[in-house]
């Protein structure tokens, strides 16, 4: 599998700069809800800070985390797979594909 992360966050780019470039015109917040950060750390062993923004889609009441780095994509896939498959080493597997 060849994943193209060329549009993801670049070295020396702030979270806001990456969000503006990756999701132009989106309503988002660079501050992540502490409850979600704690859950991802405590339940999944992941430090999501610097890898996500919170997106506020129109007509939806709940924000959605969006990855801005390849590591964020791997974290999102890992958290989802653990929930459904119980596979806890997928971050390393996905990171190896980048």
Tell me if 1 is assigned to some domain: no
In a domain, 4, yes or no: no
Per-residue DSSP letters for the chain?
Answer: -----TTS--TT--HHHHHHHHSTT--EESSPPHHHHHHHHHHH----TTTEEEE--TT-SS-EEEE-SHHHHHHHHHHHHHHHH----HHHHHHHH-
Tell me the pTM: 0.73
Q: How many domains, in total, are found in the chain? A: 1
Domain around 86: 15-97
Averaged in consecutive runs of 10 residues, what is the pLDDT profile of the chain (98 residues)?
53 88 92 92 89 90 89 87 53 50
- Whether 49 maps to a domain, the answer reads yes
* pLDDT score of 97: 46
């Amino acid at each position: 599998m060849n994943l193209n992360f060329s549009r993801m966050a670049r070295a020396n780019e702030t979270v806001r700069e990456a969000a503006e470039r990756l999701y132009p015109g989106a309503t988002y917040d660079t501050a992540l809800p502490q409850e979600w950060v704690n859950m991802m750390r405590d339940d999944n062993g992941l430090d999501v800070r610097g890898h996500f923004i919170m997106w506020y889609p129109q007509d939806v009441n709940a924000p959605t985390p969006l990855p801005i780095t390849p590591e964020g994509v791997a974290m999102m896939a890992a958290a989802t797979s653990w929930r459904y498959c119980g596979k806890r080493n997928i971050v390393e597997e996905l990171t190896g594909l980048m």
